[in-house]
Structure 1
Amino acid sequence: MLLENQLCFDLHAASRAMDGVYRGALRELGLTYPQYLAMMVLWERQPVTVKELGEALRLDSGTLSPLLKRLQAAGLVSRERSATDERSVLVRLTPEGSELRQRAREVPRKIFEATGLDAAEGRELQLTLRRLTASLDGASR
């Protein structure tokens, strides 16, 4: 029952440390880490429904809605009801949101450098974390 023996604490500490590095890297973009993740999804594909975005980011609508409101207030995204399903809200990048992608291009490199891992270690850690997430998702059902 020692804290230093708990895997959950190591994951928590690493996550907080990663958040700190992202906070510095994203400051000049005016984004928080969750906003950056939402923008990454939109830079990959758009429009997306709020539901699809929530699933991609593993966020519930109570967390996602205020995040999207802030991105919309910053002029980076627009939200509109789907023409084919009024229950569905589509999220799209504005021209400003699209342009921000160029300014964000160096963020992944900066973050990876901060980890101190080489490419093989980074890939192995990523695969391990994905396996862990899948196992934990299965165990929580």
Structure 2
Amino acid sequence: MSENELDGHIRAINTVSHKVSQYLNSELKDLGLSASTYFFILKIGDKGKITQDDLFKQIFLNPSNVTRRLNRLIKLGYVSKEKSANDKRVRVVKLTPLGQEKYQQLVIRLPTINQEVVQALTSDEVLMLRRLVGKMETGLDDLLS
């Protein structure tokens, strides 16, 4: 990447992100999941159940994209959505038994996929990557607030 490229860093990060998404799509296809939906199953499964608003905050997508993907997962039978018993304005999402199966398969499969994504790096480079990405995320949080 040349220092003279106007979008060099952005393009490089975006290219890696797209390639990771393509790889996730190929590795999760047999589960009926994709790079854009697996994270929902993972986050809901980790919590057991979660409000739709809390899911918006964890996924970092606009609410209409979250709602669209949630509706897709509901249609597939992986997720259910119901009104909260405490506050009828609040929607709670949780995994169905089929969604729970997908979650268990993800828990088994994701560590290997995660490792394969960084397989070209040494263990020191992986640690450095984590630190650098963490710093970038914090810096972006500052820019966005």
TM-score by length of 2: 0.87
Q: Which residue of 2 aligns with 1:38?
A: 40
User: How many percent of aligned residue pairs carry the same amino acid?
Assistant: 24
Cα deviation, residue 113, structure 1:
1.6
- Structure-1 separation of matches of 2:46 and 2:122: 26
Q: Which residue of 1 aligns with 2:58?
A: 56
* Letter paired with 2:26: G
Which is further off, 129-138 or 69-78?
Answer: 129-138
- Structure-2 separation of matches of 1:95 and 1:83: 21
Q: Which residue of 2 aligns with 1:134?
A: 138
Q: Which residue of 2 aligns with 1:124?
A: 128
Q: Which residue of 2 aligns with 1:109?
A: 112
Q: Which residue of 1 aligns with 2:100?
A: 98
Structure 1 residue ranges without an equivalent (≥5): none
Cα deviation, residue 125, structure 1:
1.2
SS at match of 1:9: helix
Give 2:76's match in structure 1, choosing from 49, 58, 74.
Answer: 74
* Letter paired with 1:57: I
SS at match of 2:85: coil
Cα deviation, residue 4, structure 1:
7.7
Mark the CA change 1:13 to 1:80 in structure 2 (over 3 Å): closer, same or farther: same
- Structure-1 separation of matches of 2:101 and 2:7: 45
Cα deviation, residue 11, structure 1:
0.6
Which is further off, 126-135 or 10-19?
Answer: 126-135
Mark the CA change 1:128 to 1:83 in structure 2 (over 3 Å): closer, same or farther: same
Cα deviation, residue 3, structure 1:
3.1
Cα deviation, residue 111, structure 1:
3.8
CA RMSD, Structure 1 to Structure 2 (Å): 1.9
Cα deviation, residue 137, structure 1:
1.7
